[in-house]
Amino acid sequence: MACGCLVPNDGISGSRDGPGGGHFPGKTTLSGKCTICHGADGKGNGPAAAALSKHPADFNNPEFWKGDVDKKISDIVRNGRPPMPAFSLSSDEIQTIIDYMKQSFKK
Ligand code: HEC
């Protein structure tokens, strides 16, 4: 699936704040790497989303949180699933993202 989706880094800075606030290290990682597609509010409406061949998942959807979400999230972040790229993050970094996502988006 050729789609040139590896988005440029411009405009992706840790200053793009997500909802929730609080001192979650995962917030910075998520803001820097994920919100460009997934949106600061996790709805899948980030600035790059419109250019993707598939709509990014909506993390606010209760369906998303069914099953083994820790594994689901860590698998896709490690391996990617086009058009979502893989990320080389440590297990700790991935865990902080998962914690932050639970804190912010899980209903
Ligand atoms: C280039 C855009 C892009 C970026 C950057 C991106 N994603 Fe995604 N993501 C997607 C798309 C598109 C999908 C939907 C893929 C599908 O339906 O097959 C997705 C799906 C997901 C899913 C849902 C998996 C499932 O089985 O429902 C999770 C979790 C996820 N992304 C987490 C992240 C995290 C965490 C980051 C940052 C480390 C990130 N994404 C960065 C585009 C992106």
Mind listing the pLDDT tens digit for each residue in 69-102? 999 999 999 999 999 999 999 999 999 999 999 9
Atom of ligand 1 nearest to the CA of 49: 2
The answer to whether residue 13 scores a pLDDT higher than 70 is no
What does pLDDT average to over the chain?
A: 83
For the chain, percent of residues with pLDDT exceeding 70 = 78
CB of residue 72 inside a 6 A radius of ligand 1 = yes
DSSP 43-63: SS--TTGGGSSSPPP-TTSGG
34-40: average pLDDT: 95
Report the separation in Å between the CA atom of 38 and the middle of ligand 1, taken as the mean of its atom positions. Answer: 7
CB of residue 87 inside a 6 A radius of ligand 1 = yes
Closest CA to 69 of 81, 59, 80: 59
Closest CA to 32 of 82, 76, 87: 87
Q: Give the domain ranges of the chain.
A: 25-105
pLDDT tens-digit map of 41-59: 999 999 999 999 999 999 9
More confident residue, 12 or 82: 82
The answer to whether residue 19 scores a pLDDT higher than 90 is no
CB-based contact 84:38 (threshold 8 Å): no
The answer to whether residue 29 scores a pLDDT higher than 50 is yes
- In this structure, the residue with its CA closest to atom 42 of ligand 1 is 84
Report the separation in Å between the CA atom of 105 and the middle of ligand 1, taken as the mean of its atom positions. Answer: 14
More confident residue, 93 or 19: 93
CATH superfamily of the domain spanning 25-105: Cytochrome c-like domain (1.10.760.10)
Provide the token pair at 18. Answer: 């997500």
Provide the token pair at 76. Answer: 């896709």
